Amino acid sequence: MAKKRIVANQNFNFYFNKAWQYVNKNGEKSYDAIVNFEQAIKRNPTNGGPYSDLGNCYRGGFQCFSKAKYNYSKAIELGYTEGFVYYNRAICYYELKQFELMNKDLTMAKNRGWNSDPYNLSGKMNK
C-alpha cells in the first residue's frame, strides 16, 4: 500500500524529508516513512543517517529488532557513530537477548557522550 504513494524519480532530500513528514505525522510506525527512507538510501547509500532513522522505525514503530539492528549496524559501518545509534542498537540486542553485545554498545554509547538511559539498560547490564 505504501509503495503506491511513492513519488518516482526524486532526489535524496525529497525522500528523506518526505520520510520525516510521515514520522512527524504518524510516528515511527509508518510504512510510508520506511519506504521513503529506503528510497533515500538508494539515492545515497553511503550516508549513515537514514539507516539510523530506518532503524528507529523498525525498532520503535514495529518492534522488528533484527531489521533495526541491521540498519543501526549499517549506519555505524558507514561512519554514523553518534552515541544514540549505539544506544538504540543496544536496545535491539537486549530484546534479542544478546546481552554481551548490549553491554558493549551501552558502553560505546556512553563513551560517545550519550548519557540518557530511558530503557534502563544500565540496570539490565551483566545479565
Q: pTM for the complete prediction?
A: 0.92
Mean pLDDT along residues 67-94: 98
Q: Which residues contact 113 (CB under 8 A, 6 or more apart)?
A: 83
**pLDDT tens digits for range 21-40:** 999 999 999 999 999 999 99
Alpha-carbon gap, residue 84 to 25, rounded angstroms? 22
pLDDT attached to residue 8: 80
7 pLDDT band, cuts 50/70/90, is confident
Q: Cβ-count burial of 86 within 10 angstroms (0-12 exposed, 13-18 middle, 19+ buried)? A: buried
pLDDT attached to residue 1: 42
Alpha-carbon gap, residue 100 to 63, rounded angstroms? 20
What CATH homologous superfamily does 7-80 map to? Tetratricopeptide repeat domain (1.25.40.10)
126 pLDDT band, cuts 50/70/90, is low
Mean pLDDT along residues 69-80: 98
Kindly report the backbone phi and psi dihedral angles of residue 102, in degrees, each rounded to the nearest multiple of 5, phi listed first.
-60, -45
Mean pLDDT along residues 94-114: 97
pLDDT attached to residue 9: 84
Alpha-carbon gap, residue 127 to 51, rounded angstroms? 29
pLDDT attached to residue 4: 53
The candidate with the shortest Cα–Cα distance to 87, out of 74, 97, 72, 99, is 72
What are the start-end ranges of the H helices in 61-123? Answer: 65-77, 83-95, 99-111
Kindly report the backbone phi and psi dihedral angles of residue 30, in degrees, each rounded to the nearest multiple of 5, phi listed first.
-140, 110
**pLDDT tens digits for range 40-72:** 999 999 999 999 999 999 999 999 999 999 999
Q: Dihedral (C-alpha) 111, 120, 26, 4: value to the nearest 10 degrees?
A: 70
Q: Map out the domains of the chain as residue ranges.
A: 7-80, 86-127
pLDDT attached to residue 93: 98
